[in-house]
Amino acid sequence: MNALPWHREALERLMGRHPRLPHAILVSGRRGIGKVAFARELARSLLCESPIDRLACGQCPSCHWFGQSNHPDYREVVPESAEEGDGEGGEADSGKEAGKKSLVIKIDQVRAIREFVSLSTHRAGHRVIVLHPAQALQPAAANALLKTLEEPPPATVIALVSDRPARLLATIRSRCESVVLRAPERESALAWLKAGGAQEPEAALALAGGAPLLAAELAQPEDREWRRRVVAELSRPDGAHVLAFAAGFDRALLERTLFVMQTWVHDLVRLKSAGEARHHVDSVAALKAKARRARLDRLLALDRELLEARRLVSHPLNARLAAEHLMMAYNRATLA
Ligand SMILES: [Zn+2]
């Protein structure tokens, strides 16, 4: 584990202010650029017992514990559903289990943090909490967190991470120092993806709109396979076969599909407005064929619906019905 190369400078700048860092930091920026990795690396550097150029050494006992997810002065707060990674298996059973897990950060989790900060630190150094995604805080949890931020405990840094900071309580935002992270240049993102062994990195990076960690996710075989499936459906000259396509949809599948549909519709809108496809650069012929019969006003309406659906996808909903509805709206927009 190391700072992502494109965020190293921002990290060094922040660590340069140590030991006068703010008590609360809000790390924001687009999805998939490495905000959580940044916050973790900040934590590791703060906890390191013999930092090199202010950053974590990777060798000391503290760095070792951190690497084992075992540091007594570090806590990470995430929704239950995110606790065991992404659940890569995709088995029907584990999918159902994941569906029952909470998608929000609850007040009990914030109370546990208040307890944690009331204890003395184990290594007589700092204590760091990383909470993500901060927009997942339930209202009661957000209010409890606000109390902690209003009476900052000594030697404690709380880093909130969010790609939708506007959804946080204004009072929480105002208690945090804002660190806005950016996506890297294309060349450096591609180099990083290639070093990580990503398949078809150019296509994945275009699809991800330049966000490298999102691109790495999209370059996974399972994701590439699903994108091909959705793109094939969206490309049908006679329109998507709505019922057959949406059968068996669950929330995870809907979320992935929404992303493909949204980027696809953005490309159609661009083509209709005399621009060029930016995301699905390997399907330009199919996009152009669809764009010919599509209506711009309906595409824009569909885009708003997709945005709304992505907001709702973290709530319980009938994934099959939502997929059917959106696919029908897509057909209406592209078979005009
Ligand atoms: Zn160290």
pLDDT over threshold 90, residue 193: yes
CATH 1.20.272 residue ranges of the chain are 220-334
67 C-alpha to ligand 1 centroid (Å): 10
36 C-alpha to ligand 1 centroid (Å): 19
159 C-alpha to ligand 1 centroid (Å): 19
Q: 68 φ, ψ to 5°? A: -90, 10
13 C-alpha to ligand 1 centroid (Å): 18
Residues facing residue 159 across a β-bridge: 25, 130
pLDDT over threshold 90, residue 123: no
60 C-alpha to ligand 1 centroid (Å): 4
Calculate what percentage of the chain has a pLDDT beyond 70: 93
Of the listed ranges 3-7, 56-60, 329-333, the least confidently predicted one is 3-7
Model confidence at 292, in pLDDT bands (50, 70, 90)? Answer: very high
236 C-alpha to ligand 1 centroid (Å): 55
65 C-alpha to ligand 1 centroid (Å): 10
69 C-alpha to ligand 1 centroid (Å): 14
CATH 3.40.50.300 residue ranges of the chain are 5-180
Residue 205's CB: how many other CB atoms inside 10 A?
A: 25
Model confidence at 86, in pLDDT bands (50, 70, 90)? Answer: very low
206 C-alpha to ligand 1 centroid (Å): 36
pLDDT over threshold 50, residue 85: no
pLDDT over threshold 70, residue 145: yes
Q: Which amino acid is it at 152?
A: P
63 C-alpha to ligand 1 centroid (Å): 4
pLDDT at 93: 35
Matching CATH number, 220-334, of 2.60.40, 1.20.272, 3.30.450, 1.10.150: 1.20.272
- Asked if the 5-180 domain carries CATH number 3.40.50.300, the reply is yes
pTM score: 0.84
How distant, in Å, are the alpha carbons of 115, 286, 333, 335 from that of 234?
51, 9, 11, 11
